[in-house]
Structure 1
Amino acid sequence: MWPEVLATLPPLWMIVGAFLIAGTVKGIAGVGLPMTALGILTLQTDPRTAIALAIAPILTANLWQFLTAGGAISAIKRYLPFVVVMMIGIIVTLTLTASASPAFLFGVLGATIILSVALNLTRWAPRIPDSADVPSQLGFGALAGILGGLVSLWLPAVLVYLSARQVTKEEFVRATGLLLFSGSIPLVLGFWREGFLTGPIAWVSAGMLVPTLLGMWAGSRLRHRLSEQDFKRVLMFVLILIGLNLIRRSITG
């Protein structure tokens, strides 16, 4: 089984390089690990395989962010509607779209990456008052569940919701830590149940923790030497190109 599965994956040097780069991006900017890794890996493989390879790094990075953010219990109580709807949405969407074509997933992934870039650059979001918080959590949680089940990128929905709530920087870090980690759990379970996360791929994914953590360490060191604004401009430009290429591939097949 191992040789047959590994033969369908991108070259090992490309997988290692993708997570080294993605980890570096995470270390410098604090976000962007899944988008960067998937953008590179989908140059050589289908979105579901790329996501399966990224499972262990995504789960570990999100768990680390959640544990180090602090205030876990208060965050769970505050964002419970969002968490519950998102987790259910990821499982349901993944189940319903398990046989979706790679072309469709390429298009959704490309559009989601471009949406993430646009949100990051414009920081646009409508203001949500306290009275509308719970309905908003349900709505954005459902959107996060759909995006998570399709392409494992539920961050855009989280960003819009938190920006619209105008939370403090500390609350933003705490909330994203919870919402990113809680979404990772049904993603792992769903990929295992649907057969996308097989034993060999799971082991390769676990092995990618090494380049991911090395990249995060290097990125944290570089963060103090590079202009964060200049780095983000270059990263956003590269992600736009990746997103447009994915949409092209969805159209041309």
Structure 2
Amino acid sequence: MSEQLYVYLLLIFILAGFVKGVTGMGLPTVAMGLLGMFMPLPVAAALLVIPSFVTNVLQLFTGPSVMLIIRRLWLMMLLILAGTVAASSLLISINPAWSAFGLGVALIVYAVFALISPSLTVSQAREKWMSPVIGGVTGVITGATGVFVMPAVPFLQSLRFSKDELVQALGLSFTVSTVALAAGLYLHDAFRVEQFSLSFMSILPALAGMWLGQKVRARISAMRFRQCFLLFLIVLGIELISRPFI
């Protein structure tokens, strides 16, 4: 890797951590989208594993409701794990231009959905059968694109969690997705020692960006920042989906 690429990695993980610090999410989404501009998606996903895992575990344990949330969402998490491992071969085997296309579509769909912000509520009866379905679909999308957010995030937002519980539930979902993606990459020989060491080194800029974002969050409009972040994802997604046609 060139020195210039190391600088790009440093800036990308600082930015991704900053977004997570301000909004409570977005590190893997931002990092995967930006890394995908410079390298194949399997390599980008491998670099993302350790900083994503560390920051999401920290998010998971920010409140007292960990066991309650795990008991409620364990079946969804199991299907995320299975779906991600099963579909991770797609991330590796598909033509890089078309895998970037899939990533771009995932980013745009998520960003548009989040900008519209439809008010959804899932009843307990529907939650029981929807939870494994959403988990399986999220797993397949995660395995194919390296992005964890759809449709898990809108579903979790519809379950009437308190604000703190939602942050922990998202942390649980992202942690399981990260572990599952790492397992899938390892099983397909796409997670090597040199990538692990570079991924480990990315923890510091990600945590630094996250700390800075948390400091800035109290001084800026979180809603306006979130809107700019989502518009940025749309622009990034458009660039990625254009690759097969260039």
Query: TM (normalized to structure 2)?
Result: 0.93
> Which residue of structure 2 aligns with residue 3 of structure 1?
none
> Which residue of structure 2 aligns with residue 66 of structure 1?
60
Matches within 5 A, 1:169-208: 169-208=163-202
> Which residue of structure 2 aligns with residue 216 of structure 1?
210
Matches within 5 A, 1:39-58: 39-58=33-52
Per-residue CA distance 1:143-182 (angstroms, 9 max, x = gap): 1111111122222211221233333323312321221112
Amino acid at match of 1:208: S
* In 2: Cα distance, 1:69 partner to 1:248 partner: 41
> Which residue of structure 2 aligns with residue 34 of structure 1?
28
* In 2: Cα distance, 1:96 partner to 1:22 partner: 25
Per-residue CA distance 1:6-28 (angstroms, 9 max, x = gap): 46x97111111110111111111
2:8 to 6, 9, 14: 14
Q: Tell me, yes or no, if structure 1 residue 79 matches structure 2 residue 89.
A: no
Q: Tell me, yes or no, if structure 1 residue 123 matches structure 2 residue 108.
A: no
| Distance change >3 Å, CA 107–CA 94, structure 1 → 2 | same
* In 2: Cα distance, 1:174 partner to 1:32 partner: 14
Q: Shift of residue 240 of structure 1?
A: 0.9
Please say if residues 110 and 243 of structure 1, whose CA atoms lie closer than 8 Å, have aligned partners that are also in contact.
yes
Structure 1 unaligned blocks of 5 or more: 1-5
Amino acid at match of 1:82: M
Structure 1 SS opposite 2:227: helix
Please say if residues 125 and 161 of structure 1, whose CA atoms lie closer than 8 Å, have aligned partners that are also in contact.
no
Aligned length: 246
Please say if residues 90 and 144 of structure 2, whose CA atoms lie closer than 8 Å, have aligned partners that are also in contact.
no
Please say if residues 127 and 166 of structure 1, whose CA atoms lie closer than 8 Å, have aligned partners that are also in contact.
yes
Q: Which stretch shows the higher mean deviation, 120-129 or 197-206?
A: 120-129
| Distance change >3 Å, CA 34–CA 10, structure 1 → 2 | farther
Q: Shift of residue 110 of structure 1?
A: 0.4
Q: Shift of residue 97 of structure 1?
A: 5.1
Query: TM (normalized to structure 1)?
Result: 0.91
* In 1: Cα distance, 2:89 partner to 2:4 partner: 26
Per-residue CA distance 1:95-136 (angstroms, 9 max, x = gap): 355311112211111011111112221222654222121210
| Distance change >3 Å, CA 24–CA 89, structure 1 → 2 | same
Q: Tell me, yes or no, if structure 1 residue 143 matches structure 2 residue 137.
A: yes
* In 1: Cα distance, 2:172 partner to 2:77 partner: 8
> Which residue of structure 2 aligns with residue 95 of structure 1?
89
> Which residue of structure 2 aligns with residue 25 of structure 1?
19
1:106 to 100, 104, 108: 100
How many percent identity over aligned positions?
24
